[in-house]
Structure 1
Amino acid sequence: MEQTYILSKVDHTLLSPAATWAQIKKLCDDAVEFHTASVCIPPTFVKQAAEYLRGRLAVCTVIGFPTGYHTTAVKVLEAREAVKNGAQELDMVINLGWVKEGQYGRIKEEIQAVKEACGERVLKVIIETCLLTEDEKIALCKVVSETDADYIKTSTGFSTNGAMPEDVALLRKYTADEKKVKAAGGISSFADAEKFIELGADRLGTSRLVREAKGSISV
Structure 2
Amino acid sequence: MSVAPIAAPRWDGPLPTLEEAAKMIDHSLLRPELTLAEVAAGLETALKYRTASVCVRPADVTTAVAALAGSGVAVGSVVGFPHGGATTAAKVFETGELVGLGAQEIDMVIDIGRLRGGDVAYVQDEIAAVVQAAQGRTVKVIFENAYLDDEQKAAGYRAAEAAGAAFVKTSTGFAPGGATAADIALMRRTVSPHVQIKAAGGVRTLDALLELHRLGATRFGATATAAILDDLRARLAEAAPPADGGPEKQG
TM-score by length of 1: 0.95
1:63 aligned residue: 79
1:53 aligned residue: 68
Structure showing greater radius of gyration is 2
Q: Residues 217 and 102 from structure 1, CA distance in 2 versus in 1: closer, same or farther, beyond 3 angstroms? A: closer
1:120 aligned residue: 136
Task: Tell me how far apart the structure 1 counterparts of residues 180 and 233 of structure 2 sit (CA, whole Å).
Answer: 29
**1:214 CA drift (Å):** 4.5
Task: Tell me how far apart the structure 1 counterparts of residues 120 and 83 of structure 2 sit (CA, whole Å).
Answer: 17
2:221 aligned residue: 205
Task: Tell me how far apart the structure 2 counterparts of residues 95 and 161 of structure 1 sit (CA, whole Å).
Answer: 17
1:134 aligned residue: 150
1:166 aligned residue: 182
Contact 1:66 1:156 in 2 (8 A): yes
Matches within 5 A, 1:91-110: 91-110=107-126
2:160 aligned residue: 144
Q: Residues 115 and 177 from structure 1, CA distance in 2 versus in 1: closer, same or farther, beyond 3 angstroms? A: same
Task: Say which of 31, 41, 46 aligns to 1:26.
Answer: 41
SS of structure 1 residue aligned to 2:154: helix
Task: Say which of 8, 11, 17 aligns to 2:32.
Answer: 17
Contact 2:61 2:101 in 1 (8 A): yes
What letter is aligned with 1:151?
A: F
Aligned-pair Cα RMSD in Å: 1.5
SS of structure 2 residue aligned to 1:194: helix
Gaps of 5+ in 2: 1-14, 235-251
Task: Tell me how far apart the structure 2 counterparts of residues 174 and 214 of structure 1 sit (CA, whole Å).
Answer: 34
More RCO (CA 8 Å, sep 6+)? 2
SS of structure 2 residue aligned to 1:163: coil
Task: Tell me how far apart the structure 2 counterparts of residues 129 and 32 of structure 1 sit (CA, whole Å).
Answer: 31
**1:177 CA drift (Å):** 1.7
Number of equivalences? 218
Contact 1:180 1:201 in 2 (8 A): yes
1:87 aligned residue: 103
Contact 1:153 1:182 in 2 (8 A): yes
Gaps of 5+ in 1: none
Q: Residues 110 and 156 from structure 1, CA distance in 2 versus in 1: closer, same or farther, beyond 3 angstroms? A: same
Contact 1:151 1:180 in 2 (8 A): yes
TM-score by length of 2: 0.83
**1:22 CA drift (Å):** 1.2
Q: Residues 99 and 6 from structure 1, CA distance in 2 versus in 1: closer, same or farther, beyond 3 angstroms? A: same
Contact 2:21 2:229 in 1 (8 A): no
What letter is aligned with 2:66?
A: E
